């Protein structure tokens, strides 16, 4: 049974400014959940989001507040004896809060895996791949800087798939930026992420130009609220259209898949509401003939490891993943960093998440953000 739950805000600067249509990030606030059990096990989960409330309805501070105020008292009172029972309890009594629920489920699955001496991937369906290729996002906002950064990544064998964040500039300026990079990187796959910034008419114009310029994938060009427009764009263009923000929980994903509103789903464990929900979304997309892309909320290594376990179970992953979040941070919170090499990430094979969190470092950074934070008790 659960003995304690600590929710920690861990702010870490990024290695450079990360520009999106909705915000510019110079820091990522990791939301980490640390659960300890009566029989001496501990598990870690992560509920990191992007850009405070500029991206989604949950922010780091709201996640921590809701876990501390609602999740923790409920779990400590009811004392569920398994991950499944804990999540059923939370889903029965707490609406929404998908990011917070994901962090709790991840920590509990980490404990369950350690207790059974199995990786999380084997608890949620079984892995079919041990390594995943990882895209890098070019988001400085400067064309020459982005091209130089991409060439450096290729030379160092770190990344050869690149995503470009656009939507905050006039369409023709953004398109010119993208096509200059595509021309400089003709052998690389280029994805464009509009982050919902275009109207349907703007998307028709922009996607036509990008398709003619041999861009490979267009991500969420219109608002998540306009699923009909997304479907029309998918039907109109040959270039693959990817749904991102609109892909939320399994119920929502089922309707998107049934209506074939996109060619590709970007799946994110936090956005899905947990690891098992993300697995279910992947299965539904596969059955509907929709391709899959392993998305990120720019999580640190804990959320990234959890995501990798999920994506390792997908029957197909033809558009690869974007699990570069830890590489964007100036500090690492693991004893041994995740294994990035040869353009990809090797998925941990140890029990649970298969990682060892540096608890002293995590609590040190958390205390700097919240000076009154208590020390963790010994398992």
Just list the catalytic residues: 165, 322
Closest by CA position to 137, among listed 60, 190, 72, 174? 190
Q: Tokens representing 91?
A: 């889903």
Buried b (16+ CB within 10 A) or exposed e, 18-36: bbbbbeebeebbbbbbbbb
Q: Tokens representing 69?
A: 């105020």
Closest by CA position to 376, among listed 107, 36, 65? 36
Q: Strand runs (DSSP E) across the chain, as ranges?
A: 2-19, 24-37, 42-46, 131-133, 136-138, 161-165, 189-193, 217-219, 240-243, 264-267, 291-294, 339-341, 344-346
Closest by CA position to 182, among listed 221, 222, 209? 209
CA distance 29 to 367: 13
CA distance 67 to 34: 12
CB of 83 within 8 A of CB of 91? no
For residue 346, what are the β-bridge partners? 131, 339
| 123 DSSP assignment | H
CA distance 373 to 352: 26
H/E element, 180: helix 171-184
CA distance 164 to 219: 10
C-alpha distance from residue 6 to each of 45, 102, 208, 279, 374 (Å)? 11, 15, 49, 26, 9
Q: Per 3-state DSSP, what percentage of the chain is helix, strand, and coil (rounded to 5)?
A: 40, 20, 40
Place of tokens 């956005």: 271
């Amino acid at each position: 049974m659960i003995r304690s739950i600590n929710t920690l805000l861990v702010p870490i600067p990024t290695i450079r400014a990360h520009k999106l249509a909705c915000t510019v990030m110079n820091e990522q606030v990791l939301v980490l959940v640390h659960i300890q059990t009566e029989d001496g096990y501990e598990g870690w989960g992560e509920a990191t989001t992007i850009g405070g409330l500029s991206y989604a309805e949950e922010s780091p501070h709201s996640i921590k507040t809701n876990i501390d105020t609602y999740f923790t008292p409920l779990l400590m009172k009811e004392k569920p004896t398994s991950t499944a029972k804990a999540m059923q309890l939370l889903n029965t009594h707490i609406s929404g809060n998908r990011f917070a629920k994901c962090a709790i489920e991840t920590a509990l699955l980490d404990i369950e895996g350690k207790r059974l001496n199995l990786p999380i991937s084997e608890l949620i369906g079984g892995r079919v791949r041990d390594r995943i290729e990882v895209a890098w996002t070019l988001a400085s906002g400067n064309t020459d800087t982005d091209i130089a950064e991409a060439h450096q990544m290729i030379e160092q064998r770190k990344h050869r798939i690149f995503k470009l964040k656009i939507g905050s500039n006039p369409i023709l300026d953004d398109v010119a930026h993208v096509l200059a990079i595509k021309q400089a990187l003709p052998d690389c796959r280029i994805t464009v992420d509009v982050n919902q910034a275009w109207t349907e008419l703007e998307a028709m114009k922009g996607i036509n130009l990008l398709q003619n310029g041999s861009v490979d994938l267009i991500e969420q060009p219109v608002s998540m609220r306009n699923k009909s427009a997304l479907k029309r764009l998918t039907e109109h263009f040959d270039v693959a259209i990817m749904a991102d923000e609109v892909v939320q929980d399994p119920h929502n994903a089922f309707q998107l898949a049934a209506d074939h509103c996109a060619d590709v789903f970007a799946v994110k464990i936090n956005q899905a509401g947990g690891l098992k929900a993300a697995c279910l979304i992947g299965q539904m997309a596969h059955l509907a003939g929709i391709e899959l892309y392993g998305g990120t909320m720019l999580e640190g290594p804990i959320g990234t490891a959890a995501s990798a376990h999920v994506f390792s179970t997908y029957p197909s992953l033809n558009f690869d993943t974007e699990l570069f979040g830890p590489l964007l941070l100036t500090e690492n919170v693991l004893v041994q960093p995740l294994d990035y090499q040869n353009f990809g990430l090797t998925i941990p094979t140890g029990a649970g998440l298969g990682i060892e969190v540096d608890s002293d470092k995590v609590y040190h950074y958390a205390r700097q953000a919240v000076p009154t934070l208590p020390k963790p008790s010994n398992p």
